[in-house]
Structure 1
Amino acid sequence: METAGGHQWVAQRIPDDSYAVVSNQLSIQEVDFEDPENFMFKADLKQFVVMHHLNPNPTSFNFRNIFGLNDLSDEYYNTPRVWEGQRILNPEITQSPVSHDLPFIRKASRLIQIEDVQQILSSHYEGTPYNPVGTGSEAEKHRFRPISLPATQESHILQIKPNQPIEVGGIHWLAMGVAAQSVYVPFFAGMSETPEMYHHGAKVYTADSAYWVFKLASVLTDAHYKEFVKELNTTRSKVNVQMRNQLHDFEQRALELSDTTALEELLNQAGNEISATAIQAFQALSANLITKSTDLSPLYYQHNEEL
């Protein structure tokens, strides 16, 4: 669903075999007013557009073109992020990152996995000249706003497995801090308590906050990016494998339970244990990065043993 000026709105159904990547801009294109199965809209939407002469192409009704800005800010702030998501899910299609005609809905070239969504939300244009820490020119590296930014507080993925009870089949994947430098921790929908370290968080760093555990590793890596990014990504990869194994184990155990109290307790246990895997790994990573950072000070002096 998207809203436009004058309290106008339209909603379009995304087919089960398709996807949409949406940034901070209007995305819906052609509206079919004769297709109630796939479109909903304000009753006077068409009349409003005609009355105020808003449609630049009266032979069609492209919601994006009628109400969207399509200005320069879209070309460096919004459209490239849509392009990046579609590039990841449809790498065989060549498109321009500044095109105003990127389709709202596409069919992926493969089945979309959780890892694909995580990659999109963690993206900073890896594998392109636009990667801020890549090999492009300075102009290219800073041309577009990445999806994952240092200012990101948290990133979420909501997964529903239709063949399982919602308590088990509903999974909330939560990455605290910068998605590109964090991990998505899975929590079952049927849990009733969140881990203690997720209760804490403020603008000032505290060691008892899950957010600051992940953010600290990110800040330490940024200070010496070339030296530390490999270790960060190695930790992320290992933790992701461990968490997926834990998730599978708890899922199988949960599906065997019929008692609701026992199920709730097990899913609470899952949240505590899986999040602890990530938190402890990142705490160890930060400790190691702090130790290594002592040798990277600009005041460091290499003693000549021959003197």
Structure 2
Amino acid sequence: MLTHQFNPYSACTSILVGKNASADGSTMIGRNEDSRAAWAKKFVIHPHTEFDAPQTFKSQDADHPFSMTLPKIRAKYTATPEWTPKYGLFEEDGINEYGVAMSATESAYCNPRVLAADPYVQNGIGEEAMVTVTLPYIHSAREGVERLGQIIEEHGTYETNGILFSDADEVWYMETGAGHYWVAQRIPDDAYAVVANQLAIQEIDLTDHDNYMYAKGIRNFVLDNQLASMDNGLNFREVFGTADLSDLHYNTPRVWYGQKYFTPNVDQQPESFDLPFIQRASGLIHIDEVQHYLASHYEGTPFDPVGSGTDAEKHTYRPISLAKTQESHVLQLREDLPVATRGIHWLAMGVAAESVYVPFYAGADDTPAAYQVATEKFDPTSAYWIFKHVGVLVDAHYHELHGDLQTVQKDLAVALGHHLIVTDHEVAALTGDQLTTKLTQANQKAADIAINAMQALAADLITKSTDMSPLNYNTDLNL
């Protein structure tokens, strides 16, 4: 593998869990959307729409004027677009009415040798459009890979990305390489994978079409450009990816920590290029453990930025949860449930370590009003800014106030988990409009529980912080 020019401003961390690796038979895909410290997100539900004629998608990104024709029928789907479409939609993550989930993207790099043979296409598809032109038009995770793969082969892409797909049965991870090539691997049902801004997929079995998919002509592309001999198959990570010093400090430690957390019996090092893509957990994985990983920052190691290590140790590796996280999500598809109640879009606005994952039923037809407000500057009516506000207050006096935050986070995890269980029972016999209405009301209640608690916490933190000013002195109260 070759080196790349490192860009620290586009980064995410992802996790994928097969149905037999999870405690309740769910498939789960999750990701931290990391870009800017103050860049608000919305949470919306696009309705099922049937147009009279095919539609045209045109990107609003002036640097990458991608466009394509879309089908006449657009399924309902959840999404988290940006506060402004000026640089693109960036809908990022969602679950559609057919029970298919998608998260895009995990930014990565392709090495110069491959790019020389197949350069990026500046008016091709990029992260900002992928969910919008894919998720509303697919009926399975496998179909999602196929559709996006066809788009990339036809239109090209201007960047390297990883894309997560799931339905109730299968979980797929797809990676793009160069301008027109891609591969995808099904995560084994009994396995999980964590990914951190590097091409991760290893050996591709070109004869196993049940578990691998890939671009047409990829074998000839590799051979014709002397990228690899293919005598031992195709290792996508080695042929298309990167491996340099920045990877060892920015990327591989996050994978190491995830595998250390879920599979503590493995002996691995944070600065290793040999960490496996597919891994098996030591026990069944629960939804809160997936959330814990996405909210983590090397707790229990010297590398925790707010831990007890030396200053050098605390700043050695890029943490999983960090100030530039816009939102963190886990898309859970639960087995043996009707499609309307199967999908739970867990969403933590802002920095996951200082936020709360709120469960939203994808079968609803609207989102709470506070989640539809997203502005460039602080707005106390915006869910994004409400959660972000708490994080900023805690950061100002982290060690003094973090305990207050943890208490509220634990209380909310209990309250929201109970709310989900109760709602599941209440809607079990409902169908049609009655079910949709009840799920929409349940989502509003979940939002109210979380937002009210965080607003109350913010008030307490402000009150406590008033006596933490550097302009302070032990005054004589009798004077």
The TM-score, its normalising length taken from structure 2, stands at 0.62
Secondary structure of the residue aligned to 2:363 is coil
The higher relative CO (CA closer than 8 Å, separation ≥ 6) is in: 2
CA contact (8 A) 2:205 2:233 kept: no
> Match of 2:381?
208
Task: Say whether residues 1:278 and 2:450 are aligned partners.
Answer: yes
> Match of 1:39?
212
> Match of 1:189?
362
Q: Among residues 160, 167, 184, which one is paired with 2:333 in the alignment? A: 160
Find the aligned partners of 1:130 and 1:57 in 2 and give their Cα distance. 39
Find the aligned partners of 1:168 and 1:199 in 2 and give their Cα distance. 22
Secondary structure of the residue aligned to 1:50 is helix
Secondary structure of the residue aligned to 2:466 is helix
Secondary structure of the residue aligned to 1:237 is helix
Secondary structure of the residue aligned to 2:192 is coil
Question: C-alpha deviations, 1:220-252, integer Å up to 9, x for none?
Answer: 000000100001011100011001011110111
Secondary structure of the residue aligned to 1:269 is helix
Displacement of 1:162 in angstroms is: 2.2
Matches within 5 A, 1:91-130: 91-130=264-303
CA contact (8 A) 2:223 2:230 kept: no
Find the aligned partners of 1:303 and 1:107 in 2 and give their Cα distance. 59
* One-letter amino acid of the counterpart of residue 39, structure 1: Y
Secondary structure of the residue aligned to 2:441 is helix
Find the aligned partners of 2:373 and 2:194 in 1 and give their Cα distance. 32
Gaps of 5+ in 1: none
Find the aligned partners of 1:199 and 1:40 in 2 and give their Cα distance. 37
* One-letter amino acid of the counterpart of residue 35, structure 1: D
Find the aligned partners of 2:368 and 2:478 in 1 and give their Cα distance. 55
Find the aligned partners of 2:295 and 2:194 in 1 and give their Cα distance. 14
Change (3 A) 1:75 1:257: same
> Match of 2:104?
none
Whichever structure has more helix as a proportion of its residues is 1
> Match of 2:320?
147
Task: Say whether residues 1:173 and 2:335 are aligned partners.
Answer: no
> Match of 2:437?
265
* One-letter amino acid of the counterpart of residue 262, structure 2: L
* One-letter amino acid of the counterpart of residue 435, structure 2: L
Find the aligned partners of 1:56 and 1:131 in 2 and give their Cα distance. 42
Secondary structure of the residue aligned to 2:228 is coil
Secondary structure of the residue aligned to 2:421 is helix
Change (3 A) 1:95 1:211: same
> Match of 2:138?
none
Secondary structure of the residue aligned to 2:234 is coil
Q: Among residues 350, 371, 374, which one is paired with 1:198 in the alignment? A: 371
Change (3 A) 1:266 1:6: closer
Task: Say whether residues 1:26 and 2:199 are aligned partners.
Answer: yes
Gaps of 5+ in 2: 1-173
Find the aligned partners of 2:218 and 2:182 in 1 and give their Cα distance. 7
* One-letter amino acid of the counterpart of residue 249, structure 2: Y
CA contact (8 A) 1:56 1:66 kept: no
> Match of 2:158?
none
Displacement of 1:6 in angstroms is: 4.8
* One-letter amino acid of the counterpart of residue 267, structure 2: T
> Match of 2:175?
2
Q: Which has the larger radius of gyration?
A: 1
53-62 vs 297-306, greater mean Cα deviation: 53-62
Find the aligned partners of 2:342 and 2:226 in 1 and give their Cα distance. 48
* One-letter amino acid of the counterpart of residue 181, structure 2: Q
Secondary structure of the residue aligned to 2:204 is coil
